Amino acid sequence: MVDIAYFSLIVSLALSGYAVVISLLGARLKREEMIKSGERAVLSVFVLLTFASIALFHAFLSRNFQLEYVASYSDRSLPTIYTISAFWAGNPGSMLLWAWLLSIFSAIVIYQNRRKNRELIPYILSILMTTSVFFLAMIIFTANPFKQLNFIPPDGRGLNPMLENPGMYLHPPTLYLGYVGFAIPFAFAMAALITGKTGEVWIRTTRKWTIFAWFFLAVGNMVGAWWAYYTLGWGGHWAWDPVENASFMPWLTGSAFLHSVMIQEKKRMLKTWNMVLIIITFILTLLGTFITRSGVIQSVHSFSQAGIGPFFLGFMGFVLVGSLTLLAFRLNKLQSKGELESLVSRESTFLFNNLILVGLAFAVLWGTVFPFISEAVKGTKITVGPPFFNQVATPLFLILLLLMGICPLIAWRKATPSNLRRNFIYPLVAAIAGAILAYIGGIRLILVLITVLLMIFVTTTIVLEFYRGTKARHRMANENYFKAFFTLIWRNKRRYGGYIIHAGVVLLFLATIGEGYKTEKIVNLKKGESVQIRQYNLKFENLSTFPTASKQVAAANLTVSNSGHLKSITARKEWYPKQEQNWTRVAVSSTLKEDLYIIFSEFSEKGDNATFKIIINPLMIWFWIGGYVMAFGTVIVMWPDRREKLRLATGYTRR
Amino acid sequence: MFPSISLNKQARSYSGAFNKRVFLATISTLILISLFVFVTAAQALTATEVAKGFICNCGCQKNLEDCSSTMKECGIGQDLVKIIAQKVSAGEPKAQITSYMMKNYGEKILTAPTKRGFNLVGWLSPFVATAAAAALIYITIFRWARQTPKLARVNKKPGAAKDKYSKKLDDELKKFDY
């Protein structure tokens, strides 16, 4: 099976190359049978890579340690659940996952476009399959998951303990769904440039793909943050690590793209800018894979090998130069037909929203690569860590929050002073009153007060949008308020789903406020001894040590008393002899108000005393709730909408 | 039906001045927020806070405080934190401790580059690039707004009541939306 799987990779590479050539030839010579042949080649790649992936899953589950990859990332003691996720624990499996997802998406694109966009399809497939050729070549020549050892080891080396976490089930696949998902709008954009069909068709056709990719990138980032919070054990969820930055950047530019395409759909403007945004986003997804997989940048998330870096850089250069050259050739076809009447209009705020999102992506990229620039210029190495990103990104984030509030309040086309007065008065009054109340309530950190002010401003604008919409429906359709509210959302999924996503973002900001009020304490406790931290009383009950198949566990059992409520929690320290690695499993007790986060640092040989780092993280849970709210909003936006289809089909633009 | 040219000009100049005022007020607010946040970065006061300014060179990618308090097995982190604690209790200012650490372990030990010399390129580039792009957008929108055909705007005196046709159009659009 393994040999056939390897052979299927080689055939997939050949077929991907064939699909590129035959599709381009078919388009050039206008020969439908050639185009069909290209499509069949793509479908064959999908079948072959599905087989190869199943074979790799099978190799892991059957403990086929003759495969170097299986022996390197699993062992007999690894639970089945993590044996499955070991598929994407290293470079070969991750790259195969990339290529496999790409083949699945390509097959879906063929199915979706079997009766439409026929002129674009050969170019779309040739672009997707060029990417497939790159990844398959990398797999076969540098990271072959089916490479066999010339002996069968009795057991494997086991999985990195950091990856033995439920987060690892979701984090890499969701991120890759996002990364690979952006290949589809990119391919459509390039096909639009090649064919000169630079209108709104490619944007409308790929809107769902774009939201899909954006959604999974968001989920991937959230799950990554969740994994870092519960697994890395330093008390935070985002450390501006290069790998975190790598997945955050395409999300930022993808967000800019999602907003910017609305202007093209409504006003036929920003065609060049949208092309630039999708090119940047796709290249950033490649950069994300490159940073995670090449090992060029030291990171806590980098589970990689050196050697693939130059190939990745070469491919990214090829994509960048190729797409920008195409763009340059078609600039005359990308002239805007729309009009913009005023600086103070919703269109302008969208542009500034784009500016801040792209500015943020640039700031993150700049901070990530600045150590290399500095070393090249000064010859000395520097570290660019959280203090840099916090100081540079925070103002931009706050401006983004402000724009998120301003945007829905400003009229399309042109806002008049009376329009501004009418729309801004309530949010402004609510925001100022909220900030004053927060100050009276004891908040003195000026940055927190600014954030509170902006959060209330945005929340009020969102509430007002729902209120005005519901009221209008109640009046026009004579529906009761309850029904009017839900019909409003149901009939305008894109608009109100978007506002729900914005509400989720506000909750993320709410969670970050808590950073300013974090409490940390390091305590050494004897067995039976207690410590009081704020309203929490922590008692170290006992320490139990026991071996498992893969590790030696030391579990510190604690009783937490919070205003009379008792709760038992366990913080663990684990020693993995095979990997010679120590690992900490934190204990977290969450409420809506705050998280009690306990890190088990060390213990005495007799087990009668232990050291803990105790952190109280205010408002932390709102970060995860914000993520769920964003996901809920995205589901609403993505839900099939007959009216939206009709609107787009009739070429409706609100002017 | 159409207002006179002079009225139209007056309306347009009023509208332009209003646009500029709103735009300048917004940009000033944004710049003030940026400056404020950038300048008011928290100052370290305790040994713990000082230790958070340095990265542990054991390869864990955590700052010294996080590494030493959560990974007691990291000997390097423990030793460095002890040195910092001694210096803080001896009353040494943060700048002096920082230069000691930089002298012995290089600039790489800092969690963020200093705000001096070439490093300023690193610190300021995102703001300069964003400000330059904002200026470019402003000029572009300004030009677009000027290029917009006169007929599209001719009958829209700012703040005035809409004519019956545009009001009807807006009503229709509202129905379509809600």
Torsions phi, psi of A87, nearest 5? -50, -45
Q: How far is A338 from chain B (nearest CA, A)?
A: 9
Residue ranges of alpha helices (H) inside B40-149 are: 47-51, 64-70, 75-89, 94-105, 119-147
A652/A640 Cα distance (integer angstroms): 18
By three-state DSSP, how is residue A545 classified?
Answer: strand
> How big is the CA angle at A421 (ends A435 and B21), to the nearest 5 degrees?
95
By three-state DSSP, how is residue A119 classified?
Answer: coil
DSSP A234-252: SS-S----HHHHHHHHHHH
pLDDT digits (tens, 9 = 90+) for A593-611: 999 999 998 888 888 889 8
Q: How far is A108 from chain B (nearest CA, A)?
A: 32
Distances from the Cα of A651 to the Cαs of A47, A268, A655, B74, in angstroms? 38, 11, 12, 64
**Do A158 and A576 form a contact (C-beta atoms < 8 A)?**
yes
Is residue A653 less than 8 Å (CB to CB) from chain B? Answer: no
A486 contacts on B by Cβ (under 8 Å): none
Q: Mark yes or no for CB contact B122/A358 under 8 Å.
A: no
| Closest Cβ–Cβ partner in B41, B62, B72 for A391 | B41
> How big is the CA angle at A40 (ends A39 and A41), to the nearest 5 degrees?
90
Edge-first strand listing for the sheet containing A530-533: A530-533, A536-547, A552-562, A565-576, A581-585
Q: Mark yes or no for CB contact A352/B70 under 8 Å.
A: no
List the one residue out of A379, A377, A479, A464 whose CA is nearest residue A422.
A464
Q: Which residues of chain A have pLDDT under 70?
A: 294-307, 337-339, 644-655
Mutate one of B23, B119, B144 to test the A interface: name it (highest A CB count within 10 A): B144
pTM to 2 decimal places: 0.87
A211/A494 Cα distance (integer angstroms): 11
**Do A352 and B135 form a contact (C-beta atoms < 8 A)?**
no
Is residue A370 less than 8 Å (CB to CB) from chain B? Answer: yes
- For chain B (178 residues), the mean pLDDT of every run of 10, in chain order, is 40 57 68 62 66 81 79 70 86 87 87 90 93 88 72 48 55 51
Instruction: List the beta bridge partners of residue B54.
Output: B110
| Long-range contacts, B147-152 (Cβ 8 Å, 24+) | B147/A339, B148/A339, B148/A340, B148/A341, B149/A339, B150/B8, B152/A339, B152/A341
Q: Mark yes or no for CB contact B112/A388 under 8 Å.
A: yes
pLDDT at B76: 73
Which segments within A512-603 are labelled E, that is strand? 519-526, 530-533, 536-547, 552-562, 565-576, 581-585, 587-590, 594-603
Which B positions 24-43 lie with beta carbon below 8 A of chain A?
26, 29-30, 33-38, 40-41
**Do A126 and A190 form a contact (C-beta atoms < 8 A)?**
no
DSSP A435-486: HHHHHHTT---HHHHHHHHHHHHHHHHHHHHHHHHHHHHHHHH---HHHHHH
Q: By CA distance, what is B102's nearest residue in A?
A: A382
- Positive/negative CA dihedral, A644, A650, A651, A653: negative
